[in-house]
Amino acid sequence: MIANYGYKDGAGDFFITIDTDKCDGCGDCVSACPENVFVVGEDPNDPLRDEPVAFVSDEQRKKLKYTCNPCKPDRNRPPLPCVEACKPRAISHSW
């Protein structure tokens, strides 16, 4: 399942997408993110799923543009820690 967390406003689309079919619940994104954006636990979109999965915390969903800003200083930004940490390549950002 493709799970999108974030929002859209006049400045653009600010979503983190997690491909839950690829996510193995390893928790590497939790360790890599300096802002505690990710949580690993019961899938909020699929309560019947037995395995833990990563999702974006409720607290962060409405402010991702600001939370992630330090990781994205400009267009030539370095690879994002969360994307780099996820070996199955389950994480992507819309901006």
Residues in the site for ligand SF4, rule: CB under 6 A? 18, 23-29, 32-33, 35, 37, 40, 54, 67-68, 71, 80-82, 85-86, 88, 90-91
Q: How far is the CB of 71 from ligand SF4 (least distance, A)?
A: 3
Q: How far is the CB of 33 from ligand SF4 (least distance, A)?
A: 3
Q: Which is nearer to ligand SF4, 15 or 90 (CB)?
A: 90
Compute the Cα dihedral for 25, 45, 16, 71 and give only its sign: negative
> Residue 87: CB partners within 8 Å, gap ≥ 6?
26, 28
Could you give the CA distance from residue 7 to residue 9 in angstroms, rounded to a whole number?
7
